[in-house]
Structure 1
Amino acid sequence: MEKVYDAIVVGAGIQGSSTAYNLVKNGQHTMLLEQFPLPHSRGSSHGQSRIIRKAYGSEGYHYTEMMPEAFRQWKTLEQETGITLFKQTGILFCGTDGETFMTDVLKSLHKNSMPYTSLDSKDLPEKYPMLCYPPDSIGIEDPSGGVLFSNKALVAFQSEFIKHGGALCDNESLVDIIPGDIVTVKTSKGRYKSRNLVLTVGPWATKLLPRLGIHLPLKALRVSVFYWKEKIPGTYSVEKFPVVIQEHGTSNNHFYGLPCLEYPGLFKFCCHHGPEVDPDKRDDVDSSWVLEKTKACISKQFPLLEPIPAITESCIYTVTPDNNYVLDRHPDMSNVIIGAGFSGHGFKLAPVVGKLLCELVMHKTSSYNMSHYKIKRFYNSSKL
């Protein structure tokens, strides 16, 4: 008799790996499929670090509600694997006094009764003399945040998945999906059957979902990841400097930085935007404007960094118009579950996302309000 899985998860990035981990720990016979040989750097989950924080703006208060559980689940994964996945550095939010970005951060912290420290335009340069912000800038310190070690986190989920009996198949690209009560998945190497299918394919959702009759307003963006050398060693070390998230004026001036952790003496600082791209041709797009924009910010605001990046890497964000995720069933195929559009802020919440997608597969009552993540929000009616 042909083997039938309880669930097949397509896409072994952080969301797919977390989902597969949650499924197998809930007794589901699960396969995790990945198109590239593992590990790879073509998608959204590679690299050494990601930011983890609790505060979100007004559009993301529901994520702040999930963050306490996310921190707990990351800790559980550390304990299960013996791998250190989190470094608490604190988060420094910086922006212009009175503008939306900073007021929303404050509201988020207040709403969830989270401790923080406010720095006015005088306090900020006194505490962080290595910064050179405009005179009307203020800061908010969230001591709970820090850095996730992303490559290690990905391996941790995958190793625990295999340990609990999951089947991980990499270098096996998806060819076709034949729907039904039992879904047939055709790949470059074989055919598999499953009662449920979970699609966590990152930027390839922009290509795969239309084939399944779902046309979501998703965009894949190429994001440049820059590392800048300190002029004076230790200036932006993890002992002296936190993660920084800043926005001055508009959301197009949204940048983030991580202290020197990954490469000795190199500060990670990036723009939270980039050009739209075909994920199969990620490096064919012109992103020189991102470099110029980031260099200008470094020169003005980080005078103790060299003005030219020492290392440049690439990542892909898959964004939705409202920057909220898609966590939902296919409208016509109830056993096909979709996780997409994590908009550059999904990694930190991967343990909770995996739990929520697992709950959809198993028809469990959801742990959180799922209305923010429904497919139908992009349409005037439920008909696609």
Structure 2
Amino acid sequence: MSSEVYDCIVIGAGIQGSCTAYHLAKNNKTTLLLEQFVLPHSRGSSHGQTRIIRKAYEQDFYTHMMEESYELWAQLEKEAGIRLFSRTGLLVMGPEDGKNFQLIKSSLQRNKVPSVELQRHRFSQHIPNVNLAAGDGALVDSTAGVLYADRAVRAAQMIFQARGGIIKDGQKVVHIQPGAVVTVTTGSDMYKARSVVITAGPWASTLLSLTGLELPLRVVKINVCYWKEKVPGSYSIRNRFPCFIQLEPKEAEHDIYGLPSNEYPGLMKVCYHMGSETDPDERDGRMDRADVDAVGCYIRRCFPGLVPVPAVVESCLYTITPDRHFVLDRHPAYSNIVIGAGFSGHGFKFSPVVGKVLCELSMGQVPSYDLSPFSIRRFQGHRRSAL
């Protein structure tokens, strides 16, 4: 057992935990970052080479948070000396009179986000090799692009350690004893801290149950698919092809999104924004491919320059809340236990701001943002089994 009492222990070294630890170290807090797996690993939600970064959101509070997130990503990029972002723009397509398309359009205008609405008769001039569905509108968030995910996690951890932070991997937490000083027990050691931040991704429910808290979190396995370009480079980041989101596709209930070919030359990443419920420890047993078939049908209709059979299928986990908004809050019974969870497949881009807010909560400060959309109180009346 370590005799040191840390200012904070962060449990979970994915992007949210790593950014929280980064901010704590920058605030000169002695911080221990614990990870159950040996780093780096691909078991959770933060691995892989790319994610979309964007300001195009239905809700103003997300767009406002992204203003600072862009600044903090640039700061981390500068501190680490590693390129973390490529600007490509984000093409948003969806039923022109649909609620979500109109909400995004009005939010971009209201928040003065640089954007362009593409007219149907000129669409193919701006976006070659894409068929815009009948009745769909199209707009581009010009600020958007690609985040280099694996690099981002490494960069946050690198700066954290450079500022004196300690990372211990292979440390699965088995017990949390609340108190003025919280005791965290792993399979091989015991640690103490004045505050604890839980950013355990798909394992959040397991960790929170150790503190007597149950939240309506659901874990789903996502098939991450890469599709071959018929003509190499047609949809590449080098040729400035944008990221895209297809709202309300005819083939599926949930959105489809894509990123230009980059990490695998000649292969474009196009995925369904939902998956099959799974136990995070049993994920490899799930082989549901209905979503892959739906994306294949969509590609056949809208992306004629891609082979409509995936060349590579990887996996990722989403931890989803009923309203798809995050959990950023203090434990209702223990104010020195802070929770960041339920990022619902769209949290990566926010991680520098999320890390800042979780750091503020752990230090007992008033957070920089109104966190009411992310409060635990909103789940009153929800039962986990009812999801």
Task: Give the TM-score normalised by the residue count of structure 2.
Answer: 0.95
Render the CA deviation track for 1:41-85: whole Å, top value 9, x for unaligned. Answer: 00000000000000101xx32110011110000000011010000
Q: Which residue of 1 aligns with 2:351?
A: 350
- After TM superposition, give the deviation of residue 380 of structure 1 in Å: 4.9
Render the CA deviation track for 1:307-360: whole Å, top value 9, x for unaligned. Answer: 111111100010111111101111111111110000111000000000000000
Q: Which residue of 2 aligns with 1:373?
A: 374
Q: Which amino acid aligns with 2:371?
A: M
Conserved? CA contact 2:175–2:210, under 8 Å = no
State yes or no: 1:28 paired with 2:33. Answer: no
Render the CA deviation track for 1:145-176: whole Å, top value 9, x for unaligned. Answer: 00000000000000000000001001111111
Q: Which residue of 1 aligns with 2:160?
A: 161
Q: Which residue of 2 aligns with 1:256?
A: 257
Conserved? CA contact 1:124–1:138, under 8 Å = no
Q: Which residue of 1 aligns with 2:199?
A: 200
Q: Which residue of 2 aligns with 1:271?
A: 272
Conserved? CA contact 1:206–1:220, under 8 Å = no
Task: Provide the identity percentage.
Answer: 48
- SS of residue in 1 equivalent to 2:351: helix
State yes or no: 1:246 paired with 2:243. Answer: no
State yes or no: 1:213 paired with 2:212. Answer: yes
Conserved? CA contact 1:9–1:198, under 8 Å = yes
Q: Which residue of 2 aligns with 1:51?
A: 52
Conserved? CA contact 2:88–2:240, under 8 Å = no
Q: Which amino acid aligns with 1:279?
A: P
Task: Give the TM-score normalised by the residue count of structure 1.
Answer: 0.96
- After TM superposition, give the deviation of residue 216 of structure 1 in Å: 1.1
Render the CA deviation track for 1:173-198: whole Å, top value 9, x for unaligned. Answer: 11111111111111112010111011
- After TM superposition, give the deviation of residue 249 of structure 1 in Å: 5.3
More deviation, 35-44/283-292: 283-292
Q: Which amino acid aligns with 1:241?
A: F
More deviation, 135-144/9-18: 135-144
Q: Distance in 1 between matches of 2:4 and 2:232?
A: 58
Q: Which amino acid aligns with 2:86?
A: K
Conserved? CA contact 1:259–1:268, under 8 Å = yes
CA root-mean-square deviation: 1.4
Conserved? CA contact 2:7–2:30, under 8 Å = yes
Conserved? CA contact 2:223–2:314, under 8 Å = yes
- SS of residue in 2 equivalent to 1:110: helix
Q: Give the alignment of 1:93-242 within 5 angstroms.
A: 93-238=92-237, 239-242=239-242
Q: Which residue of 2 aligns with 1:19?
A: 20
Q: Distance in 2 between matches of 1:363 and 1:380?
A: 28
Q: Which residue of 2 aligns with 1:63?
A: 62
Conserved? CA contact 1:97–1:137, under 8 Å = yes
Q: Which amino acid aligns with 1:324?
A: H
Conserved? CA contact 1:120–1:137, under 8 Å = no
Runs of 4+ in 1 over 3 A off after TM superposition: none
